[in-house]
Chain A
Amino acid sequence: MYQYNDFDEAFVRARVAQFRGQVERRIDGSLTEDEFKPLRLMNGLYLQLHAYMLRVAVPYGTLNSAQMRQLAYIADRWDKGYGHFTTRQNIQYNWPKLQDVPDMLDALADVGMHAIQTSGNTIRNVTADHFAGAASDEIEDPRPIAELLRQWSTDHPEFQFLPRKFKIAVTGAEQDRAVTRAHDIGLRMVRNAAGEPGFEVIVGGGLGRTPMVGKILRDFLPKADLLPYVEAIVSVYNLLGRRDNKYKARIKITVHENGLEKIQHLVEDRFTAIRAGFSGHDQALLAQIETAFAPPAFVTKSTDGYEAARLANPAFRSWTDTNLAEHKAEGYAIVSISIKKHGSTPGDATSDQMRVMADLAETYGHNELRISHEQNVILPHVHKSDLPAAYQALRAADLAAANIGLASDIIACPGMDYCALATARSIPIAQEIATRFDELKIEHDIGQLKIKISGCINACGHHHVGHIGILGLDRAGVENYQITLGGDGTETTTIGERAGPGFSADEIVPAIERLVTGYMDLRADENETFLQAYRRLGMEPFKAILYPAEDKANAA
Chain B
Amino acid sequence: MARSFTPKVVTANALLEGDAVWLTEDNRWTRDIREAELITDEAHGDLRLLEAMAQADLIAGAYLADARSGPDGPEPTHFREAFRTRGPSNYFHGKQAE
Q: Which A residues contact B (CB, under 8 angstroms)?
A: 26-29, 32-33, 47-52, 80, 94-99, 345, 348, 416-418, 422, 425, 427-428, 431, 474, 477-479
Give chain B nearest CB distance to A43 CB in angstroms: 15
| Interface locus among B10-18, B32-40, B43-51, B67-75 | B10-18
Q: A428 and B90: CB pair below 8 A?
A: yes
CB within 8 A of A47: which of B18, B57, B90? B18
By beta carbon, the residue of chain B nearest A33 is: B60
Residues of chain A lying within 8 A (CB to CB) of residue B18 = 47-48, 50-52, 96-98
**Known: A27-B57, A47-B13, A417-B83. Is A425-B19 also a contact (CB below 8 A)?**
no
Known interface pairs A27-B57, A428-B89, A477-B78; 20 further A-B residue pairs with C-beta atoms within 8 A, sorted by A's residue number: A27-B15, A27-B16, A47-B61, A49-B84, A50-B19, A50-B95, A51-B17, A51-B18, A51-B19, A97-B17, A345-B90, A345-B91, A416-B80, A416-B83, A417-B83, A422-B80, A425-B89, A427-B88, A474-B79, A478-B79
**Known: A50-B88, A428-B90. Is A99-B16 also a contact (CB below 8 A)?**
yes
**Chain A to chain B contacts (Cβ below 8 Å), 14 pairs:** A28-B57, A29-B57, A33-B61, A94-B88, A97-B18, A98-B17, A422-B80, A425-B83, A427-B88, A427-B89, A427-B90, A477-B77, A478-B79, A479-B79
Residues of chain A lying within 8 A (CB to CB) of residue B19 = 50-51
B7 within 8 A of A: no
Give chain A nearest CB distance to B75 CB in angstroms: 14
Give chain A nearest CB distance to B17 CB in angstroms: 6
Report how far A380 CA is from B68 CA in the complex, Å. 54
Q: Which B residues contact A (CB, under 8 angstroms)?
A: 13, 15-20, 56-57, 60-61, 77-80, 83-84, 87-91, 93-95
**Known: A28-B57, A33-B56, A418-B88. Is A49-B20 also a contact (CB below 8 A)?**
yes
By beta carbon, the residue of chain A nearest B13 is: A47
Q: B90 and A50: CB pair below 8 A?
A: no
By beta carbon, the residue of chain B nearest A345 is: B90
Report how far A26 CA is from B20 CA in the complex, Å. 18
Residues of chain A lying within 8 A (CB to CB) of residue B79 = 416, 474, 477-479
Residues of chain B lying within 8 A (CB to CB) of residue A98 = 15-18
Report how far A112 CA is from B80 CA in the complex, Å. 38
Report how far A553 CA is from B13 CA in the complex, Å. 50
Residues of chain A lying within 8 A (CB to CB) of residue B84 = 49-50
Residues of chain B lying within 8 A (CB to CB) of residue A28 = 57
Residues of chain A lying within 8 A (CB to CB) of residue B20 = 49-50
Residues of chain A lying within 8 A (CB to CB) of residue B80 = 49, 416, 422, 474
Residues of chain A lying within 8 A (CB to CB) of residue B77 = 477
Q: B93 and A80: CB pair below 8 A?
A: yes
Give chain A nearest CB distance to B29 CB in angstroms: 14
Residues of chain B lying within 8 A (CB to CB) of residue A27 = 15-16, 57
Looking at A27, A51, A427, which has the most chain B CB atoms within 10 Å of its CB?
Answer: A51
By beta carbon, the residue of chain B nearest A46 is: B18
CB within 8 A of B56: which of A32, A96, A427? A32
Give chain A nearest CB distance to B12 CB in angstroms: 9
By beta carbon, the residue of chain A nearest B60 is: A33
Report how far A50 CA is from B57 CA in the complex, Å. 18
By beta carbon, the residue of chain B nearest A427 is: B90
By beta carbon, the residue of chain A nearest B96 is: A50
Looking at A27, A50, A80, which has the most chain B CB atoms within 10 Å of its CB?
Answer: A50
Residues of chain B lying within 8 A (CB to CB) of residue A95 = 93
Give chain B nearest CB distance to A49 CB in angstroms: 6
Report how far A200 CA is from B77 CA in the complex, Å. 51
Give chain A nearest CB distance to B90 CB in angstroms: 5
Give chain A nearest CB distance to B83 CB in angstroms: 6
Report how far A417 CA is from B87 CA in the complex, Å. 7
Give chain B nearest CB distance to A20 CB in angstroms: 15
Residues of chain B lying within 8 A (CB to CB) of residue A479 = 79
By beta carbon, the residue of chain A nearest B97 is: A80
Q: A417 and B88: CB pair below 8 A?
A: yes
Report how far A111 CA is from B88 CA in the complex, Å. 31
Give chain A nearest CB distance to B31 CB in angstroms: 11
Report how far A425 CA is from B90 CA in the complex, Å. 10
By beta carbon, the residue of chain A nearest B62 is: A33
Report how far A50 CA is from B16 CA in the complex, Å. 12
Residues of chain A lying within 8 A (CB to CB) of residue B61 = 33, 47
By beta carbon, the residue of chain B nearest A425 is: B89
Report how far A40 CA is from B78 CA in the complex, Å. 29
Looking at A26, A28, A49, A416, which has the most chain B CB atoms within 10 Å of its CB?
Answer: A49
Residues of chain A lying within 8 A (CB to CB) of residue B56 = 29, 32-33
Report how far A27 CA is from B60 CA in the complex, Å. 11
Q: B16 and A49: CB pair below 8 A?
A: no
**Known: A98-B15, A416-B80. Is A50-B87 also a contact (CB below 8 A)?**
yes
Residues of chain A lying within 8 A (CB to CB) of residue B17 = 51, 97-98
Q: B60 and A417: CB pair below 8 A?
A: no
Give chain A nearest CB distance to B19 CB in angstroms: 5
Report how far A27 CA is from B58 CA in the complex, Å. 8
Report how far A548 CA is from B95 CA in the complex, Å. 42
Residues of chain B lying within 8 A (CB to CB) of residue A52 = 18
By beta carbon, the residue of chain B nearest A34 is: B56
By beta carbon, the residue of chain A nearest B59 is: A33
Report how far A50 CA is from B88 CA in the complex, Å. 8
Residues of chain A lying within 8 A (CB to CB) of residue B57 = 27-29
